[in-house]
């Protein structure tokens, strides 16, 4: 079972269980030139944090943070702003802060979608055996 993080209020978030990756929340981003349906793995403070699946996307691990018609791409390892498209500086800082607070979960989601495992997953798997 996969978990998806949804942070609908500016201060709190909740893990919402889903049966499998295909159950991701989706949103349209046609105005940004992306496919009409894309997975949103985190929502909070007016932002949608998205992880796109292969073959469109590739490493290094990163997320797309969208607000209105603006976007920032943030690398997860190491955590850094990679590219900014029409987003105000204050929103870039807020988006980076949101990603930083949830980087472990977002990295796990990215790796799961790209068929990679994380060290945390390996430790959990070894503990359950």
Q: Which residues of the chain have pLDDT under 70?
A: 1-38, 117-128
**pLDDT at 124 (0 to 100):** 59
pTM for the full predicted model: 0.65
Residue pair 62/73 in contact (Cβ under 8 Å)? The answer is: yes
Q: Residue 95 — φ and ψ, nearest 5°? A: -65, -45
Q: Specify the pLDDT at position 55.
A: 77
CA gap 107, 35 in Å, rounded: 22
pLDDT tens for 38-50 read 689 999 999 999 9
pLDDT for 17: 36
> How many alpha carbons lie under 13 Å from residue 124 in its C-beta half-sphere?
6
């Amino acid at each position: 079972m996969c978990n998806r993080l949804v942070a609908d209020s500016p201060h709190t978030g909740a893990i919402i269980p889903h049966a499998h990756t295909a159950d991701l929340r989706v949103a349209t981003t046609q105005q940004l030139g992306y496919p009409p349906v894309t997975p949103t793995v985190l929502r909070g403070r007016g932002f949608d944090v998205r992880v796109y699946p292969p073959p469109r996307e590739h490493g290094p691990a990163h997320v797309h943070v969208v607000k209105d018609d603006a976007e920032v791409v943030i690398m997860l390892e190491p955590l850094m702003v990679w590219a900014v498209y029409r987003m105000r500086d204050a929103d870039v800082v807020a988006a980076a802060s949101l990603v930083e607070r949830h980087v472990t979960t977002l990295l796990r989601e990215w790796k799961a979608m790209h068929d990679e495992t994380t060290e945390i997953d390996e430790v959990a798997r070894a503990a359950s055996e």
